[in-house]
């Protein structure tokens, strides 16, 4: 039926009025458009290597159970920009859930040992942004995940920053809202403090990430804030200039998972500086990190349209006991109020100093000139023309971070101890 002009206007107005609040980053906080501070309670959501945001029926089933869990966000590692995501995004919006989307694809990832940032990467990242920028519940974009995992890979950091710079400029040139753009880092004690400082230093906001996220599995129950290593994470996050949160967490050793760390993240020890956490992961698979299953495991050699690696990847989600309910209880107890945007002064946060290189550790010396589009790492960097953030090295962490216990891979497996080689990048599903 063809709508009259007036009916169409009224329908559009009603749709706008009922739309979910957008999220923005201001200083070190996330805020809803109504001024209330936003804290992430999320889950990693990648059912197979394929885009999970194209099956509306599956999204509806999963979003409904996520809502009972208390989740308000998901992280999606791999999407196909050419697909239609409107139905799934609508299902998650109806459930009050905000997706965080990785911009890179399997063949556009910034390589740690031979980094470059070229037009192909730019175009593919931009295409993903185009596909999701118009949804009100898009929370943010990652320009990379665990690119740097060992000391000699820290020379890739300027390329991460270049990707953030160019994607922010692209976002603004397209007139999109200020959707935050950031990076998800591996928890490497020898590099973490310097990397998070480097990605937010130099005094040029257009080149810095809008948020910094960390994949950390330091807290393995039973543990405490002091003994887990979280106290050191908090020390490095104190008065951080952009939102910082856990983009993967939830150690399952020895199990079952109690999620006691959530009380610290959302409690007085960390809540003033951290913006929440994303639990790894939604679906049960061989690593046994799943919060739900779609049925009993099958033979590893079994085949089927929704069977991969011995696990069914679609259907009715069923909570994994007791982990699902343990997280639900932990989140129900965590109710931070935060601060209203009208009472928050973003200039109160500290400006980070660009770290100097350290022997056998961080290799980028100060505020270097960022690579231009099309540039490949040549072995050296020059100092930026206006090195307002050059200074001494950041302080080293006092504990050694635990290696992530799942298979070493970046996007689908998550929890990588780093890319050991390019082949690991493609082998998760073997």
Residues forming the active site = 146, 248
Rounded to an integer, what is the distance from CA 189 to the centroid of its chain? Answer: 19
Q: What share of the chain is helix, strand, coil (3-state, %, to 5)?
A: 30, 15, 55
Could you say which DSSP state residue 113 is in?
S
Cβ neighbours for 368, distance < 8 A, ≥ 6 positions apart: 158, 381, 382, 383, 384
Tokens of residue 362, six digits: 């961080």
Alpha-carbon torsion angle 115, 120, 124, 129, nearest 10 = 80
Q: Please report the sign of the dihedral spanned by the C-alpha atoms of residue 416, residue 417, residue 418, residue 421.
A: negative
Backbone angles phi, psi at 423, to 5 degrees: -65, -35
Helix axis angle for 56-69 and 323-333, nearest 10°, is: 60
Helix, strand or coil, per DSSP, at residue 356:
coil
Question: Helices marked H in 183-282 — which ranges?
Answer: 192-198, 225-228, 230-237, 261-265
Report the chain's terminal Cα–Cα distance, integer Å. Answer: 50
């Amino acid at each position: 039926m063809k709508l009259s002009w007036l009916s169409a206007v009224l329908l559009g107005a009603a749709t706008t009025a009922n739309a979910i609040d957008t999220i923005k980053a201001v200083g070190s906080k996330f805020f809803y458009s109504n001024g209330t501070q936003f804290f992430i309670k999320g889950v990693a959501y990648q059912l197979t290597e394929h885009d999970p945001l194209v099956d509306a029926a599956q999204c509806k089933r999963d979003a409904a159970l996520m809502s009972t869990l208390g989740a308000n966000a998901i992280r999606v590692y791999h999407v196909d920009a050419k697909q239609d995501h409107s139905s799934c995004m609508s299902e998650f919006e109806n459930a009050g859930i905000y997706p965080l989307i990785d911009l890179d694809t399997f063949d556009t990832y910034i390589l740690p040992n031979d980094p470059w940032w070229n037009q192909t990467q730019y175009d593919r990242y931009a295409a993903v942004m185009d596909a999701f920028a118009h949804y009100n519940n898009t929370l943010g974009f990652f320009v990379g995940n665990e690119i740097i995992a060992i000391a000699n890979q820290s020379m890739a950091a300027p390329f991460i920053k270049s990707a953030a710079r160019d994607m922010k400029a692209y976002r603004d040139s397209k007139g999109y809202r200020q959707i935050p753009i950031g990076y998800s880092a591996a928890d490497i004690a020898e590099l973490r403090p310097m990397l998070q400082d480097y990605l937010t230093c130099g005094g040029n906001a257009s080149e810095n990430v809008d948020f910094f996220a960390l994949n950390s599995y330091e807290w393995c129950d039973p543990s405490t804030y002091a003994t887990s290593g979280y106290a050191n994470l908090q020390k490095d996050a104190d008065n951080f200039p952009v939102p910082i949160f856990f983009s993967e967490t939830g150690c399952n050793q020895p199990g079952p998972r109690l999620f006691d760390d959530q009380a610290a993240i959302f409690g007085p020890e960390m809540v003033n500086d951290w913006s929440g956490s994303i639990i790894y992961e939604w679906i049960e698979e061989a690593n046994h990190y799943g919060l739900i299953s779609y049925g009993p495991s099958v033979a590893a050699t079994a085949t089927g349209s929704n069977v991969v690696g011995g696990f069914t990847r679609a259907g009715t989600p069923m909570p994994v006991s007791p982990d699902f309910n343990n997280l639900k209880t932990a989140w129900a107890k965590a109710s931070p109020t935060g601060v209203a945007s009208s009472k928050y002064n973003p200039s109160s946060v500290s400006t980070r100093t660009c770290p100097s290189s350290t022997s056998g550790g961080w290799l980028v010396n100060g505020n270097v000139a960022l690579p231009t589009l099309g540039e490949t790492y040549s072995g050296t960097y020059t100092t930026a023309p206006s090195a307002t953030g050059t200074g001494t090295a950041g302080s080293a962490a006092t504990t050694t971070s635990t290696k992530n216990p799942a298979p070493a891979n970046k996007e689908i497996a998550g929890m990588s101890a780093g890319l050991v080689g390019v082949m690991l990048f493609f082998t998760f599903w073997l």
